[in-house]
Structure 1
Amino acid sequence: MVMIPRSTIRLVSVFVLGYSIIVSWFLFQSTNKYYIFDNSNHETHSVRNLTSWRAWEGEILPLRLQCNPTFSRLSTSTEDLFLTSAFGIHYLAQVWVIVIINSDLPVQSDFECVFYKQDQNDLLSWNYITNFSIIGLTLSKLYVFPEIVKLPARFTAAIFSCPLRHGLVPDAVSLVPAGFLKLPVHNALPVISPSQIERNFAVCVSPLHSLHSKAHQIVEMVETSLVLGADHFFFYNLSIHWNVDAVLNHYASKGLVTVIQWPLPAMLREDATNRTSEETNIHYHGQLAMLNDCLNRNKGASRYVVFQDLDELVVPKKHQSWTMLMASLPSNASAYMLRSSYFPLDWPSVKSGINKTANKIAKTYNANAFLKVFREERIFGRAVRSKYIVDPLRVEIVGIHNVWKFKRGGAPYYVPPEVALVHHYRAGKSETELKRVKDKSVFKFIDALPQIHRTWQQLGDIPLGPLV
Structure 2
Amino acid sequence: MFDFTNVLQLVQSFEMLQLLGVNRVVVYKTSSSPETQRILDYYTNKGFVEVIPWSLSRFLNVSRGWLPEHGPGDIHYLGQIPALSDCVYRYMYQSRYVALHDMDELILPQSVNSWSELLPLLENRYGADKCYMFENNVFPITVTLRPPNSQPLPPQGCCPGWHNVSGVNILAHLYHEPIISETHYSNFKIIVNPRAVVIPTVHGLRGSQKGCSWVNRNIARMYHTRAPRQTQLTPDKLIYDGRLLSYSTRLTPNVNTVFTESFKTQEILCFENCFAPPAE
TM bucket, shorter chain:
0.7 to 0.9
Residue type at the aligned position of 2:16: T
1:283 aligned partner: 76
Residue type at the aligned position of 1:441: R
- Alpha-carbon distance between aligned partners in 2 of 1:390 and 1:362, rounded to the nearest angstrom: 39
Q: CA deviation at 1:270?
A: 7.0
Task: Report whether the alignment pairs 1:374 with 2:175.
Answer: yes
| Cα deviation code 1:147-170 (max 9, x no counterpart) | xxxxxxxxxxxxxxxxxxxxxxxx
Alignment of 1:256-267 (within 5 A): 256-264=48-56, 265-267=58-60
2:60 is paired with a residue whose SS is helix
Alignment of 1:245-324 (within 5 A): 245-264=37-56, 265-269=58-62, 278-324=71-117
Q: Is the 8 A contact 1:346 1:429 kept in 2?
A: no
RMSD, aligned α-carbons: 2.7
- Alpha-carbon distance between aligned partners in 2 of 1:363 and 1:376, rounded to the nearest angstrom: 29
Alignment of 1:330-409 (within 5 A): 330=123, 331-350=127-146, 352-354=150-152, 360-361=158-159, 364=162, 368-378=169-179, 380-382=183-185, 384-407=186-209
> With CA pairs under 8 Å and 6+ residues apart, which has the higher RCO, 1 or 2?
2
Alignment of 1:32-431 (within 5 A): 208-209=1-2, 211-264=3-56, 265-269=58-62, 278-330=71-123, 331-350=127-146, 352-354=150-152, 360-361=158-159, 364=162, 368-378=169-179, 380-382=183-185, 384-407=186-209, 410-427=210-227, 431=231
Where does the alignment leave 5 or more consecutive residues of structure 2 unmatched? 266-280
Residues 454 and 280 (structure 1 numbering): CA distance in 2 closer, same or farther, change over 3 Å? Answer: same
Structure 1 or 2, whichever has the larger Rg, is 1
| Cα deviation code 1:82-132 (max 9, x no counterpart) | xxxxxxxxxxxxxxxxxxxxxxxxxxxxxxxxxxxxxxxxxxxxxxxxxxx
Residue type at the aligned position of 1:288: I
Q: Is the 8 A contact 1:344 1:426 kept in 2?
A: yes
Q: Is the 8 A contact 1:213 1:240 kept in 2?
A: yes
Q: Is the 8 A contact 2:107 2:223 kept in 1?
A: yes
- Alpha-carbon distance between aligned partners in 2 of 1:227 and 1:334, rounded to the nearest angstrom: 23
Q: Percent same amino acid among aligned pairs?
A: 25
| Cα deviation code 1:10-64 (max 9, x no counterpart) | xxxxxxxxxxxxxxxxxxxxxxxxxxxxxxxxxxxxxxxxxxxxxxxxxxxxxxx
1:422 is paired with a residue whose SS is strand
Residue type at the aligned position of 2:212: P
Task: Report whether the alignment pairs 1:433 with 2:229.
Answer: no
Q: Is the 8 A contact 1:220 1:452 kept in 2?
A: yes
- Alpha-carbon distance between aligned partners in 2 of 1:349 and 1:392, rounded to the nearest angstrom: 39
Q: CA deviation at 1:284?
A: 1.5
1:448 aligned partner: 251
Which has a greater percent of strand? Answer: 1
- Alpha-carbon distance between aligned partners in 2 of 1:244 and 1:376, rounded to the nearest angstrom: 29
Q: Is the 8 A contact 1:312 1:423 kept in 2?
A: yes
Where does the alignment leave 5 or more consecutive residues of structure 1 unmatched? 1-207, 463-468
Residues 356 and 337 (structure 1 numbering): CA distance in 2 closer, same or farther, change over 3 Å? Answer: closer
2:226 is paired with a residue whose SS is coil
- Alpha-carbon distance between aligned partners in 2 of 1:406 and 1:356, rounded to the nearest angstrom: 41
Q: Is the 8 A contact 1:268 1:278 kept in 2?
A: no
Q: CA deviation at 1:339?
A: 1.0
Q: Is the 8 A contact 2:8 2:169 kept in 1?
A: no
Q: Is the 8 A contact 1:362 1:449 kept in 2?
A: no
1:302 is paired with a residue whose SS is coil
Equivalences, count: 248
Q: CA deviation at 1:358?
A: 8.6
Picking from 436, 456, 460, the partner of 2:263 is 460
Q: CA deviation at 1:405?
A: 1.6
Q: CA deviation at 1:279?
A: 4.5
- Alpha-carbon distance between aligned partners in 1 of 2:40 and 2:100, rounded to the nearest angstrom: 18
Alignment of 1:10-25 (within 5 A): none
- Alpha-carbon distance between aligned partners in 2 of 1:442 and 1:297, rounded to the nearest angstrom: 31
